[in-house]
Amino acid sequence: IYPTAALRAADAAHHIHPFSDTKELNAEGSRIITQADGVWLTDSDGNRIMDGMAGLWCVQVGHGRKEIADAVHKQMCELSYYNTFFKTTHPPVVALAEKLAQLAPDHMNRVFFCSSGSEANDTVFRMVRHYWAQMGKPEKQVIIGRWNGYHGSTLAGTSLGGMKAMHGQGNLPVPGVHHIDQPYWFGEGGDMSPEDFGIAVARKLEEAIDQIGEDKVAAFIAEPIQGAGGVIIPPETYWPEVKRILKERDILFVADEVICGFGRLGSWFGSDYYDLKPDLMPIAKGLSSGYLPIGGVMVSDRVAEGIIDKGGEFYHGYTYSGHPACAAAALANLEIMEREKLVERVRDDIGPYLQKHWQALGDHPLVGEARMVGLVGALELVPVKGDRTKKFADEGTVGTICRDISFKNGLVMRAVSDRMIISPPLVLSHEEADLLAATAKKTLDETYAELKR
Ligand code: PLP
C-alpha cells in the first residue's frame, strides 16, 4: 500500500501527462499503478485491475517476466550502452536484427532501430523520400495517409496520422502529406454493403494518386487494422483493392505494424494476416512487450537496394538506435513468444475463445457492433440499437462513463469516443477471458442503467 493522496498531490503539482486533460485529471486524482503481474495491475490502494489493454497495446507476454529483467540486467553488466553510428555494432543488436529478418515476411531482411513507434515513423518519412532520391526520382515526395489513422506524436507521426485534434495543435500536418478516408464501414459506410464500401474507399487512394500525380507520390502509409482510431477492421475487399492500386503504380507501401505486429492479430505481423507485402514496416510496442523502449523500421529488399546497396550515407539515426539493453529485452521477449507459441495461441486458442464472448456482447442493447480480430476488439456503443446512423448527442461522453465504470469494476478498457476497446496481453488465460467478458457485460449493464437515470 502506497501513500495515494501524497502521490496524487505531487503528481498534480509536477507531472505533465501525455494525452490527458490535466485539469480534469487533477480534479479526480490520477490512477496510480504500482505493480503488475501477468494480466493484472495493482494500484496504490492494493486493488487488482485486469489490464485489458496490455498497457498501451504492447505487453504481449504479460507483466512481470523475470526472464526479461534478468536478460537486461546481464546485458547492462556486460555493455550497458554503446551506439550503432559510424559502422559500430554489438552482439545483441546483431542477434535482434537477424531474428527480425527471420520472423518478418520473406522479402524483408533489414531493420533500422529507434526507440519508439513515433521515431519509426519519422524514420519512414525521411527514408521513403531518401529512397526515391537515390532512385533518381527526387520529385516523389508526397506521402498519403488516412484520416483517423495514428502514427505517433512527433511532427512526422502526427502529420502522417489523421487525427484532426492533433493537427490542430502545432499547425500540422507538415507540407507534403495528403489524407484519404478510412475503411470505417460501421461509422461511414452509409447504405453500402461492407464489400462495396471496402472497394469504394480503397479507390479514394487511386483518386488521390491521380489528383496529385503518380510521379509526385512517394508512399502510402496505413495500419493493417487502425488501432487508436477505434479498432477499424477494414472490409475484406479493402486490402486486395489497395494492393492492386499500389501494384499498378510506382508507390511504396508502408504498413504500420506498431500495434498489429508481434502476434496481436494471431500472426507475427498484420501484413501476414492480410498478405500485404509492404515495402516498409514500422515496429515498436510488442517488439519488447514494452519492457524497454525500442522500435524500428523493417525494409524490403527493394528499399534496401535503394538506401543501402546504392551506397552513400543516410544522415539519420538516434543516440539510442539499437540500444544494447533494449535489444536484449526484445530478444528475451521474442524468445518467450516463440517458446510459449503465443502467436499460434492467439490464432487457434485464446483468440477464437475471447472472440466468441465478444460476439455475444454484440447482443447488448447498448452495442451496435462487436468486432475483434486476434486479441484486439471494439464495441460500438449506440443510442439506438440497429441504427448505425444515430450517434449520442454529446459524442465521447458515454464512452468515458463506460470506461470509468469498467475501471471501477476492475477492468481497463479504453474509450475511443463512444467505442470501447480491448487489447489484452496474449497470455490471457481462459478463466481470465471469462472474467474479462463478464466484467465488460456488467460494465455495459451499469452504463446502460446510468443513461436511463
Ligand atoms: N503507430 C501506431 C500504429 C501506433 O498505434 C502508435 C502508438 O500507439 C505509434 C505509431 C506511435 O508509437 P509510440 O507511442 O511508441 O511513439
Model confidence at 226: pLDDT above 80: yes
116 lines ligand 1 (CB under 6 A): yes
Q: Which atom of ligand 1 sits closest to the CA of residue 121?
A: 10
Contacts for 278 with CB less than 8 Å, ≥ 6 apart? 105, 253, 254, 255, 271, 300
Answer whether the bond into residue 173 is a cis peptide, omega within 30°: yes
The confidence score (pLDDT) of residue 26 equals 79
Of the candidate ranges 4-18, 46-60, 231-245, the one whose mean pLDDT is the lowest: 4-18
Q: In angstroms, what is the span from residue 224 Cα to ligand 1's centroid?
A: 13
User: Of the candidates 223, 157, 254, which has an alpha carbon nearest to the alpha carbon of residue 373?
Assistant: 223
pLDDT, position 378: 98
pLDDT tens readout for residues 32-69: 999 999 999 999 999 999 999 999 999 999 999 999 99
Ligand 1 center to 228 CA (angstroms): 8
Confidence class for position 210, pLDDT limits 50, 70, 90? very high
Q: Which residue has the cell 478510412?
A: 182
Residue 416 near ligand 1, beta carbon < 6 Å = no
Compute, in angstroms, the gap from residue 58 CA to the centroid of ligand 1.
10
User: Relative to the CA of 284, which ligand 1 atom is closest?
Assistant: 15
How large is the ipTM?
A: 0.99
Q: Is 345 touching ligand 1 by the criterion CB < 6 Å? A: no
Superfamily of the domain at 31-61+343-452? Aspartate Aminotransferase, domain 1 (3.90.1150.10)
182, 232 contact by CB (below 8 A): yes
Per-residue pLDDT of 378-408, as tens digits, reads 999 999 999 999 999 999 999 999 999 999 9
Question: Average pLDDT in the 314-331 region?
Answer: 98
Residue nearest ligand 1's atom 1 by CA: 151
**Domain ranges (residues) in the chain:** 31-61+343-452, 67-339
**Closest C-alpha among 309, 304, 289 to residue 423:** 289
Give 447 Cα–ligand 1 centroid separation in angstroms: 30
Say yes or no: CB of residue 229 within 6 Å of ligand 1: no
Query: What is the per-residue pLDDT across 122-178, written as a single tens digit (0 to 9) for each?
Result: 999 999 999 999 999 999 999 999 999 999 999 999 999 999 999 999 999 999 999
- Determine if ligand 1 sits within 6 Å of the CB of residue 209: no
Measuring CA to CA, how many Å separate 370 from each of 230, 232, 247, 266, 361? 12, 11, 33, 18, 7
- Which of 265, 285, 423 to mutate for ligand 1's pocket (most ligand atoms within 8 Å of CB)? 285
Ligand 1 centroid from CA 114, angstroms: 13
Calpha distance 128→297 (Å, rounded): 11
Nearest ligand 1 atom, CA 116: 15
pLDDT band at 6 (very low <50, low <70, confident <90, very high): very high
- Asked whether the predicted pLDDT for residue 428 surpasses 80, the reply is yes
Residue 102: what pLDDT? 98
Q: What is the CA(150)–ligand 1 centre distance, in A?
A: 7
Q: Are 93 and 113 in contact (CB under 8 A)?
A: yes
Ligand 1 binding pocket mutation candidate from 122, 124, 166, 258 (most atoms within 8 A of CB)? 258
Q: Per-residue confidence at 183, pLDDT binned at 50, 70, 90?
A: very high
Determine what percent of the chain is predicted with pLDDT higher than 90.
96
Helices 66-78 + 324-339 axis angle, to 10? 150
Going by alpha carbons, the residue nearest to atom 10 of ligand 1 is: 151
Q: Which of 58, 151, 326 to mutate to test the pocket of ligand 1 (most atoms within 8 A of CB)?
A: 151
Please check whether the domain covering 67-339 is classified as CATH 3.40.640.10: yes
In order of 59, 225, 229, the CA distances from 43 in angstroms are 18, 31, 28
Give the atom of ligand 1 at the shortest distance from the alpha carbon of 260: 3
**Are residues 162 and 128 in contact, defined by beta-carbon separation less than 8 angstroms?**
no
Does 1 score more than 80 pLDDT? no
Please report the atom of ligand 1 found closest to the CA of residue 295. 15
Q: Is 152 in the pocket of ligand 1 (CB under 6 A)?
A: yes
CA-closest residue to ligand 1 atom 13: 117
